[in-house]
Each structure stands twice: as structure tokens, then as C-alpha cells.
Amino acid sequence: MNVSVLGCGRWGSFLAWYTNRVGHDVMLWGRPGSKNLESLRLERKNEYLELPETIKFTDSLEEAVESAEIIIISISAQQLRSFLQTVSALPHIDEKIFLLCMKGLEAGTGKRLTQVFKEEMGAGCHVGVWLGPGHVQDFRKGIPNCMVIGSDEIEVTKKTVEAFNSELIRFYYGQDLIGNEIGAATKNVMGIAAGMLDGAGYSSLKGALMARGTRELSRIIRAMGGNDLTIYGLSHLGDYEATLFSPHSNNRRFGEDYVKGIPFTKLAEGVATIEALHHLSEVYDVELPICSALYAILFEHKETSKVLVDLFLRPVKFEF
Ligand SMILES: NC(=O)C1=CN([C@@H]2O[C@H](COP(=O)(O)OP(=O)(O)OC[C@H]3O[C@@H](n4cnc5c(N)ncnc54)[C@H](OP(=O)(O)O)[C@@H]3O)[C@@H](O)[C@H]2O)C=CC1
Ligand SMILES: O=C(CO)COP(=O)(O)O
């Protein structure tokens, strides 16, 4: 099958490598002027992996979209809407399947990425999400993992799982698009919190973070119409090892560097998601104590240690 991957950073380049490895003809797109694309074209490798000669590169969006049956998008979540405004002008887009391989919520609106997709591409365009745990560094070593693909259209879920399942990634059919999208975006938020605990020397609190974080996020999923059990699936709890405990996680590292006062320059999607959650918590009137604490630290510039103490001083309550 012809597959195009739009976005050639850390994850996009991996997705091109992986989909080619499982037998597809793959084209990897980067925007004109992309340094990532330039160096891939020059050396066929980046800091994460090497790409085989069989993968084609292009900076023509029209060529990438036109030539593929399945189009994977992996760019920074906050850029999705403006990016899709360009993609939506291309011909035959309603004949394709788009898979969003990105974890975020739109800051300002709190919208899920498939909602943003439908608004910009039209309700008739086919879209799914590919989420769950995995770092390029681990897959490249041949260490397998489990992920989830989901869509409002079961045919999209089944077709894409069939196209991409392999001994390296075992896929599950997603059953709750709302829960999976919120779960995937918010695991980055918990990753930032975990990094802050690591940076402050409080790593032993990460167990409590996992227990209470899943609890509060299950409430927002339920309020939004999803299944609160999804928080315990691959897109969220299943991604904790790769985020809350992994040296490879950008979000965890962002949190750790933040409390140490070190600037972090790579993409940490959880930052904008914290802003989006602040909005959702007000819209749905759901209390999100941990997410609000992170909002206070990052957006209201409150002192991390003071915010942590305040969390501990909240009134005692029943666990469930
Ligand atoms: N297990 C999983 O499912 C994983 C998922 N991810 C997710 O993948 C997504 C991308 O992350 P990652 O690859 O680490 O990020 P990177 O910063 O490495 O790459 C982002 C890519 O997006 C491109 N981009 C940014 N803005 C635009 C725009 N307006 N138009 C077109 N292209 C744009 C960048 O272009 P340029 O090359 O010009 O900079 C770059 O190629 C995130 O949502 C992340 O959460 C990441 C890792 C694992
Ligand atoms: O989603 C990921 C792992 O599953 C990548 O997480 P980071 O963006 O925090 O590195």
C-alpha cells in the first residue's frame, strides 16, 4: 500500500521507518525549508534512526497526499489546525484515510485533534488516531510494544490495524475515541508532573501521582462523554512507563529541567495540553487538582514547592 507520513521530526521519521519495515511504499513529507528534512535527504539519518533507500522524501504536500491511500500526520498538535487548512484545499482528500499520530488538545478550545480535523477537513473525511506507548530508541533496538488505533469508523480502525500490525507493534482496536484522545494528550501532562517530582527529588511520589492522576482524568473523560475506564488502557496508563519513567520522554525531561531551571528546547506537548485542560475543567465543571497545580506553576508562575504543599493540604476525602 502507498503510505505518506506528513511531519519528519522524531516520531514522523520513525513512522516512515516502521511503515516501510512492515512492507508499504512510503513517502516522508517535510515542509519546505525543514532542517529535519534537509538532513534526512543529505544523510538518510537523524539523531534517532537511519532510513532505508526505499523511503522517498518530498516537500510537496500535493505529491505526498495524492500518492497515498493512508496518510499519517505527526506534527506538533498546536499546528494541526493551520496545517489542515492547507491540506483541505487538496483534491481527493475524502478518498483517503488520515491517521493522526500525535498527542495533544488544542490550547484555547480544549478540542480533541479529531474534532479539529473534522472542522477543517469536513465531516466526510476519514480519520483515526494511532496512540500508545513507544520510543524510537526502544523500537530501533527491536523491543516490541503495544499500541491502539481508533476511529469513529470501525472500517478505518480495522483497515489501518491490518495494514500496520506486526511483531514489533501489537495493535488493539480502540473503542473510545474521546477517552483515547484525552488519555493520550494527558499522559504528557502526568509526564511533566513526574519530571517535576524527579527534579525535586520526590520520585517516590510517582506511584501516588499515577493513582490520583488517572482518577482525576477519568472524571473529565466521563464528563466529556467517554468511558472512564479508557484511562487505564494503552493510550494513558499504558504509556506511563514510556513517559513518567523513561529517560527518553520529552515531557518528563521538560518537567525535570523546569524545576532545575534548565531550558528545554524540544517539543513537550503536555505544556499546551495543561492550558487546554484548564479550559475543559471550567467548561465541564470538573475538579482537576493535579492539572490545576501544573497550570499554577507553568502559567501563573507559582513556586513549585509551594504548589505541592498546597496539594497536600487539601481537605481529606474518600479515595474513590
Ligand atoms: N508513541 C507515540 O505515539 C509518540 C507520539 N509522539 C507525538 O508525535 C508528535 C510529534 O512529536 P515529535 O516528532 O517528537 O516532534 P518533533 O518536534 O520532533 O517534530 C515535529 C514535526 O512537525 C513539523 N511541524 C511543526 N509545525 C508544522 C507546521 N505548521 N506545518 C508542517 N509541519 C510542521 C516539524 O517541522 P520541521 O521539520 O520544519 O521542524 C517537525 O518535522 C507529538 O504530538 C508527539 O506527542 C511522539 C513520540 C512518540
Ligand atoms: O508519546 C511518547 C511515548 O509513548 C513520547 O513521549 P514524549 O513526547 O514525552 O517523549
DSSP for 33-53 reads T-HHHHHHHHHSB-SS-B--T
**Amino acid identity at 149:** I
Specify whether 118 is located in the same domain as 30. Answer: yes
Cα dihedral: 299, 301, 306, 310 (round 10): -30
Is there a domain that residue 319 lies in?
no
Specify whether 94 is located in the same domain as 241. Answer: no
Strand order in the sheet with 145-151: 56-58, 25-29, 2-6, 70-73, 97-100, 126-131, 145-151, 169-173
Q: Alpha-carbon distance 192 to 11, whole Å? A: 19
Q: What is the CA radius of gyration of the chain?
A: 19
Specify whether 191 is located in the same domain as 273. Answer: yes
Burial class (CB in 10 A: 0-12, 13-18, 19+), 231: buried
Closest CA to 91 of 127, 114, 55, 125: 125
Contacts of 300 (CB under 8 A, 6+ apart): none
What three-state secondary structure class fits 235? coil
Specify whether 61 is located in the same domain as 150. Answer: yes
Specify whether 12 is located in the same domain as 88. Answer: yes
For the chain, the domain total comes to 2
Is there a domain that residue 28 lies in?
yes
Predicted local confidence at residue 314, as pLDDT: 94
Find out whether the beta carbon of 74 lies less than 6 Å from any atom of ligand 1: yes
Q: Alpha-carbon distance 258 to 195, whole Å? A: 8
Last residue of a domain, one of 173, 203, 221: 173
187 is catalytic: yes
Q: Which of 198, 249, 253, 258 to mutate to test the pocket of ligand 2 (most atoms within 8 A of CB)?
A: 249
| Binding-site annotation, residues for NAD(+) | 7-12, 266
Q: Alpha-carbon distance 156 to 127, whole Å? A: 7
Last residue of a domain, one of 173, 199, 216: 173
| Binding-site annotation, residues | 7-12, 266
Specify whether 195 is located in the same domain as 163. Answer: no
Q: What are phi and psi for residue 3, nearest 5 degrees?
A: -125, 135
- Residue 43 domain boundaries: 2-173
Specify whether 218 is located in the same domain as 281. Answer: yes
Task: Indicate which CATH number applies to the domain containing 183.
Answer: 1.10.1040.10
**Long-range CB contact pairs, 164-169, < 8 A, 24+:** 164/18, 164/19, 164/22, 164/130, 165/22, 166/21, 166/22, 168/18, 168/21, 168/139, 168/142, 168/144, 169/18, 169/134, 169/139, 169/144, 169/145
| Cell digits of residue 131 | 496512540
Specify whether 262 is located in the same domain as 303. Answer: yes
Q: Alpha-carbon distance 69 to 82, whole Å? A: 22
Q: Alpha-carbon distance 118 to 125, whole Å? A: 7
CA 126 to centroid of ligand 2, rounded, Å: 25
Last residue of a domain, one of 155, 173, 191: 173
Cα dihedral: 117, 121, 122, 126 (round 10): -70
Find out whether the beta carbon of 83 lies less than 6 Å from any atom of ligand 1: yes
Q: pLDDT tens, position by position, for the chain (320 residues)?
A: 999 999 999 999 999 999 999 999 999 999 999 999 999 999 999 999 999 999 999 999 999 999 999 999 999 999 999 999 999 999 999 999 999 999 999 999 999 999 999 999 999 999 999 999 999 999 999 999 999 999 999 999 999 999 999 999 999 999 999 999 999 999 999 999 999 999 999 999 999 999 999 999 999 999 999 999 999 999 999 999 999 999 999 999 999 999 999 999 999 999 999 999 999 999 999 999 999 999 999 999 999 999 998 999 999 999 99
Specify whether 83 is located in the same domain as 155. Answer: yes
246 vs 97, 154, 258, CA distance in Å? 32, 33, 17
Q: Pick the catalytic residue: 111, 159, 187, 206?
A: 187
Predicted local confidence at residue 284, as pLDDT: 98
Q: Are strands 145-151 and 126-131 parallel, antiparallel or unpaired?
A: antiparallel
Task: Indicate which CATH number applies to the domain containing 29.
Answer: 3.40.50.720
| Cell digits of residue 287 | 475538579
